[in-house]
Amino acid sequence: MDNFYYISADVLDIEAIFDVIHHDKKLKLSDEAKVNIENCRKYLDQKMAADKKPVYGINTGFGSLCNVKIADTHLSQLQENLVMSHACGTGEEVPTEIVKLMLFLKIQSLSYGHSGVQLATVSRLIDFYNEDVLPVVYSQGSLGASGDLAPLAHIALPLLGKGLVNYNGKKVSAEKVLQDKNWSPIVLQSKEGLALLNGTQFMSAYGVWSIINGYKLSYLADLIGTMSLDAFCGLTEPFNKLIHLVRPHRGQIKTAARILEFIEGSEIAAQPKTQVQDPYSFRCMPQVHGASKDVLAHVRKVFKTEINSVTDNPNIFVEQDEIISGGNFHGQPLAMALDYLGIALAEWGSISERRTYQLISGQRGLPSFLVNDPGLNSGFMIPQYTAASIVSQNKQLATPASVDSIVSSNGQEDHVSMGANAATKCYKILENLKSILAIELLNASQALAFRRPAKSSVAIENFYNAYTEKVPFVAKDRIFHDDIMATISFLESTTLTTEMFKD
């Protein structure tokens, strides 16, 4: 079986994208997609030859310049000018894994045959994807309204032999890569520049990446939280399914069942307990983790719709003989979903830090700050500071971007989604969550060691043993930055499985 994913009208979902990424599959256009693209382009050319009336973005200016008619002889230059003038991104470079997703999703959207692009244009984007010629894109510049204009302009520049790309581990000019590969620059035809720039693929790529990794961190939050629970000699009664069946939120039920599965067979859990209740950060894991799981499921549905959509403008309907200007590029559904996801991710971090705090508090027979000779050794005092700092930053980042709007383009674009800002904030919250969970794992592992000779469950002990090969027990103070970084690497190396997508 070949290692290709065939771009088609079949429904694309998050698991399929993960499969493409995980197995490093190449992209190919299906015969159906090729026909759709070619038929749409042929229709547009015939329509423009037969009817000279102004059609937005095809033979007019853009934005508030929509009433300026452009001569036929300048239509190719119009599209090239559009790409160059809109390539004004600033800020940090977008990670290459996100750029590659942008290419994938742009190819998918153009393949439906409602955008009017040349087959050669889509084929070149596929070449970029398959050969890891990844345009340099910047994180700032999109209002998430007329599509992700600035970021997508940087995606489009290399088609013209302009701009920069990341290739073979180096940042080089697109012109040089095209020459080395004997690829001629694409000569954009009417509508193509707008088809490339209008669209939500910047927001969508960040969202898809955050959803995929959100499922992984959801699983790890449950596993690390269960290790903390056992290391804290916590009660298992709050995870009894009877409690959750009378408040049957799906994520809550899933979390409680998973925690019981993780802790099953633990000698520590089987020991008699003196406490009547545990703090909420342990007892309410099903309710808190579960609520975030339910958000993740909702956001996944929103993005599934989006990545199977046509989001440029105007849209071309060959069978209906219509070219219609609308607003499918507006990112409001994504902006609100990304804000919601950011809140969910932040809450996993918030409750994780509270468990870390409890573990270092000197309760339940554990030494203060989880170290021998506290006083001489500060132990795990300051890693909790670090976690608290990151949690606080996540709270700030979780402030919604979608409630903001700034008028642009001389009032023509008078309401914007700010979905691109929601996307980059969500990504930052996700990265921060890795650090917070890493600090909890560092603490939970140390606390578990103080429970010896009693053992935890097979699942937790296996996880503990794999982890302590990378980050061993802390006998005395050492440079904890190194341990935190090693723990983050350990978590990142954990393979996402199909089972994790069932949250």
**Per 3-state DSSP, what percentage of the chain is helix, strand, and coil (rounded to 5)?**
60, 10, 35
Mean pLDDT, residues 170-195 = 96
Chain segment 66-122, per-residue pLDDT in tens: 667 767 777 788 899 999 999 999 999 999 999 999 999 999 999 999 999 999 999
Mean pLDDT, residues 438-448 = 98
Q: Which of 5, 56, 340, 427 is catalytic?
A: 56
For 476, phi then psi, to 5°, come to: -155, 170
Chain segment 39-79, per-residue pLDDT in tens: 999 999 998 888 777 777 677 766 666 667 767 777 788 89
pLDDT band at 495 (very low <50, low <70, confident <90, very high): confident
Report DSSP state, residue 140: E
**Pairwise CA distance, residues 173 & 175, whole Å:** 5
**Pairwise CA distance, residues 377 & 366, whole Å:** 15
Token pair 């994780």 is found at 352
Alpha carbon of residue 283 to chain centroid: 29
Mean pLDDT, residues 398-402 = 97
CA angle 466, 467, 470 (to 5 degrees): 105
- Work out the percent of the chain whose per-residue pLDDT is above 90: 88
Report DSSP state, residue 143: -
Tokens linked to 84: 């160059």
Dihedral sign for Cα 45, 46, 50, 54, please: negative
**Pairwise CA distance, residues 416 & 404, whole Å:** 8
pLDDT band at 316 (very low <50, low <70, confident <90, very high): very high
Determine if the peptide bond prior to 472 is cis (ω within 30°). Answer: no
Cβ proximity of 188 and 76 under 8 Å = yes
Tokens linked to 173: 């000019």
Residue 252: partners with Cβ closer than 8 Å, 6 or more residues away = 244, 286, 287, 290, 291
- Active-site residue flag, 56: yes
Which helix (H) or strand (E) segment holds residue 345: the answer is helix 332-359
Chain segment 277-314, per-residue pLDDT in tens: 999 999 999 999 999 999 999 999 999 999 999 999 99
Higher pLDDT pick, 332 / 495: 332
| CA nearest neighbour of 268 among 458, 486, 50, 60 | 458
Q: Where does residue 71 rank: exposed (0-12), middle (13-18), buried (19+ CB within 10 A)?
A: exposed
Strands 26-29 and 4-7: parallel
Using N-to-C axis directions, what is the helix angle for 285-307 and 250-263, rounded to 10°?
A: 120
Q: End-to-end alpha-carbon separation of the chain, Å? A: 30
- Work out the percent of the chain whose per-residue pLDDT is above 70: 98
Cβ proximity of 391 and 174 under 8 Å = no
**Pairwise CA distance, residues 483 & 467, whole Å:** 11
What integer pLDDT is reported at residue 65 of this predicted model?
67
**What is the pTM assigned to this prediction?**
0.96
What integer pLDDT is reported at residue 64 of this predicted model?
63
Chain segment 211-269, per-residue pLDDT in tens: 999 999 999 999 999 999 999 999 999 999 999 999 999 999 999 999 999 999 999 99
Decide if pLDDT at 20 tops 80: yes
Residue 426: partners with Cβ closer than 8 Å, 6 or more residues away = 206, 207, 210, 338, 339, 341, 342, 345
**Pairwise CA distance, residues 75 & 101, whole Å:** 30
Mean pLDDT, residues 433-443 = 98
Chain segment 338-386, per-residue pLDDT in tens: 999 999 999 999 999 999 999 999 999 999 999 999 889 999 999 999 9
Domains and CATH numbers, the chain: 4-199 (1.10.275.10), 206-310+324-502 (1.20.200.10)
DSSP secondary structure string for all residues of 61-123: -SGGGTT-B--GGGHHHHHHHHHHHH---EEEEPPHHHHHHHHHHHHHHHTTS-S---HHHHH
Tokens linked to 63: 């934005």
Decide if pLDDT at 1 tops 60: no
**DSSP-derived 3-state class of residue 299:** helix
